[in-house]
Amino acid sequence: MKACILGCESAVLSAAERAFFRETNPFGFILFARNCQDREQLRRLVADLRAAVGRDAPVLIDEEGGRVQRMKPPCWRDSPAPGAFGEIFLRDPAAALELARMNARLIAEDLYEVGIDVNCAPLLDLREANGHAVIGDRAFAPEPETVVLLAEAWIKGLRAGGVVPVIKHLPGHGRTRVDSHHALPVVDADLADMDVRDFSPFRSLRDSLAGMTGHLLFSAIDPDHPATLSRKVVAEVIRQRIGFDGLLLTDDLSMSALCGSIGERAEQAIAAGCDIALHCNGVLEEMREVAAKVPALSGEGLRRAEAVLAEARAIRSTRQAVNRDQALDSFERKLASV
């Protein structure tokens, strides 16, 4: 298995993509809105991706709710943004935690139905007053303790529905003043302050089996390299200070926060200590470049990858089905009551 997760261009797998995936054998795949038309189409696409590599490869998606939903109405429901649960938490903490769990369980039901087994959520980033709107209500709350409690409830709901969560964006994206999709954010905060605030939720949930980096430059840690490409950030902060030992995915390498060719970005991310290079836009030539620059999974990266695969199998085997209509009605009635 190559140390990469790749996308595809459209709602149907092309012959060229199928041949490329068969030859390359990426660890897994990631889907976006362009890939999601309806349930039957999406189920076929997921099955075709796995058939291309001849194994039960993980299939990822970003289903956070709010602004970040790849599976959209009218085929799928419009779920609340994570920040909505933080607002409820201020009034009724117990109800907020239960609603966060119920919402994640409903998301997991939709993912499981089409064969998607990994969700790139929840965010453990803090909602900073001066932060860029790229995070905003994608974050649960400004307080680390609240973020941890709501994220734990969210994770419980995903796992109960047979879906593996991916915490993001290590080591913390809340302070960004620019959108990392378009430019490189520079964070000048003091390391001690970041340790108390930004890193704290990740430290509390450091036993998660999968996490994703953020493309930010932390001048107090490594003034020359963004986190995804920084040995210092990965080794000294993510692995040591935070204590995260799960599978470490890059954020999307095609984002404009990073410089250099796609292949150079992938190579540098693996050299920095990331386990998996994530490439999302589905451009075949770019995917070829990524695949040419990353190694086969081995050593600690392979151990961590196998732990994610084992978790996916385990929670699918213990998953209990729910009646979606009844669960949604219960969620909506509870949401309306707080």
> In whole numbers, what is the pLDDT of the chain averaged over residues?
96
pLDDT of 179 over the 80 cut: no
| Catalytic annotation, pick one of 62, 110, 117, 251 | 251
Whether 147 and 141 have beta carbons less than 8 Å apart is answered as yes
Q: Give the CA count within 13 Å in the CB-facing half-sphere of 259.
A: 6
| Other CB atoms within 10 A of residue 19 CB | 11
pLDDT tier, 82 (very low <50, low <70, confident <90, very high otherwise) = very high
pLDDT of 163 over the 80 cut: yes
- In terms of DSSP bridges, do strands 2-6 and 277-279 run parallel, antiparallel, or are they unpaired? parallel
Whether 150 and 140 have beta carbons less than 8 Å apart is answered as yes
Per-residue pLDDT, 313: 97
Whether 68 and 78 have beta carbons less than 8 Å apart is answered as no
What integer is the mean pLDDT of 113-117?
98
pLDDT of 134 over the 90 cut: no
- Does the annotation mark 182 as catalytic? no
For 224-273, how does the pLDDT look when each residue is reduced to its tens digit (9 = 90+)?
999 999 999 999 999 999 999 999 999 999 998 899 999 999 999 999 99
C-alpha Rg value of the chain to the nearest Å: 19
- Does the annotation mark 132 as catalytic? no
Quote the strand ranges of the chain, DSSP E. 2-6, 26-31, 59-61, 63-65, 68-69, 118-119, 164-165, 167-170, 186-187, 210-213, 217-218, 247-249, 277-279
pLDDT tier, 130 (very low <50, low <70, confident <90, very high otherwise) = confident
Per-residue pLDDT, 183: 80
- In terms of DSSP bridges, do strands 164-165 and 186-187 run parallel, antiparallel, or are they unpaired? unpaired
Per-residue pLDDT, 132: 76
Per-residue pLDDT, 129: 82
| Catalytic annotation, pick one of 38, 78, 92, 181 | 181
pLDDT of 176 over the 90 cut: no
Q: Thinking of the domain 2-336, which architecture would CATH place it in?
A: Alpha-Beta Barrel (3.20)
Whether residue 181 has a cis bond before it, omega within 30° of 0: no
Per-residue pLDDT, 58: 98
pLDDT tier, 37 (very low <50, low <70, confident <90, very high otherwise) = very high
- Cα separation, 218 vs 25, in Å, equals 34
Per-residue pLDDT, 256: 85
Per-residue pLDDT, 218: 95
For 183-226, how does the pLDDT look when each residue is reduced to its tens digit (9 = 90+)?
888 999 999 999 999 999 999 999 999 999 999 999 999 999 99
Per-residue pLDDT, 161: 97
